[in-house]
Structure 1
């Protein structure tokens, strides 16, 4: 039976975060709020848990799972090196609605799907998510919905879709953003916008002027 916590109550929230972190450490799935939509999360380094996440969503390995982190500096342990442009984007837009695609360190023993040596990383602007990530470390997180259904705006909506495939639901009201993150690929010489979203191309170019955005003026 899945556990459901109302994180608006500060006392409940403490217990909720502890319970969710324990569930993640034992390979179970949790639903957590972010600043965009509610996410379905698992330990990024537990391949079995990531497979369960994809199965719960009804998606295959051709949809690699992004990773959420709890601080600017977590990315340093996940890649071989962070160049100046990537660091500038992180400092400008994390935590927030920017996902950055990087080449992960070859030494990492994770399996997030068929990502061909890359990983999409974001630091969410949501206190419950950050508190959980500080306890769990990097989490593989996808939108909390069945494939083909609308992303959940509350944990209750997620529970209606995912049921007991999830061990713990963290409810913190309807998400305030509701707009998907912007995705920027920094694996090539010229960073490229792969998906427009919460961060505009103009905002990105204030930080990295040569960023490429097909369909948006270059």
Structure 2
């Protein structure tokens, strides 16, 4: 397996993998870190998502987001009743810093949001991330920081937080907002609720 050149930082040496090699690691069960348009992502294939709670020291009642390279990768998991509204939002704001929480079912929901009937989904506006996701398939993702601590905003911080995990290269990563995505919840036809304000300013209909 070929490694990209290692890059010396103030604190430690960061070794990066290209999208082909990192995707291969993901398929074998590894957790990885890659850039997005908002914050660096800690990720794994959904089948191996349970490790992310332990790695991040995250409470078990906090779910993960399913990130994909395009809406078709993601919408196969959602309820048909929300599909039209989700497609309209995706057309306007994806790729981008919008996470939609949509009614969904199946094993992937149990893997990322156990005991619930919805799932957060996003397509990032980051070419490096899209390249990886197109090879790996949708990934379970969360911000690359320990639970309760400030989020990592760059590769150096992410590698310091999780020195044992491989990173997507090359470095430096593209510029990102440094803010979490905006999160909206589908309530019913044409109705959304903002759960978290983030890097995308959005007004949605809800009553």
**TM-score, reference length from structure 1:** 0.80
2:34 matched residue in structure 1? 32
Q: Using a 3 Å threshold, how does the CA distance of structure 1 residues 107 and 41 change in structure 2: closer, same or farther?
A: closer
Deviations 1:46-76 (A, max 9, x none): 1xx2121111111122111111010121223
Partner of 2:70: 71
Runs of 4+ residues over 4 Å off in structure 1: 3-7, 107-110
Deviation at 1:79, TM superposition (A): 1.4
- What's the counterpart of residue 143 of structure 1? 143
Q: CA RMSD in A?
A: 2.5
User: For residue 87 of structure 1, what is the aligned residue in structure 2?
Assistant: 87
The number of aligned residues is 195
Unaligned runs of 5+ in 1: 206-210, 213-217
Q: CA deviation at 1:86?
A: 1.7
**Aligned equivalents of 1:72 and 1:50: distance in 2?**
21
Task: Describe the shift of the 1:68–1:108 C-alpha distance in structure 2 as closer, same or farther (beyond 3 A).
Answer: closer
Corresponding residue of 1:208: none
Give the corresponding residue for 1:194: 195
Tell me the equivalent position of 2:160.
160
Paired with 1:109 and 1:191, the residues of 2 have a C-alpha distance of 20
Deviation at 1:175, TM superposition (A): 3.7
| Matching residue of 2:60 | 61
Aligned residues of 2:19 and 2:132 also touching (Cα < 8 A) = yes
Q: Deviations over 1:141-168 (max 9, x none)?
A: 100011122111112211111111x244
Q: Per-residue CA shift, 1:81-135, capped at 9, x if unaligned? A: 2432221111000000100001113365751143611110000000010000001
* Matches of 1:182 and 1:136, distance apart in 2: 24
Which runs of 5 or more residues in structure 2 are unaligned?
8-14
Per the TM alignment, residue 35 of structure 1 is displaced from its structure 2 partner at its CA by 0.2
Q: Distance in 1 between matches of 2:86 and 2:107?
A: 21
Aligned to 2:12: none
> In structure 1, how many angstroms separate the alpha carbons of the residues matched to 2:70 and 2:19?
17
Query: How many angstroms apart in 1 are the aligned matches of 2:53 and 2:95?
Result: 25
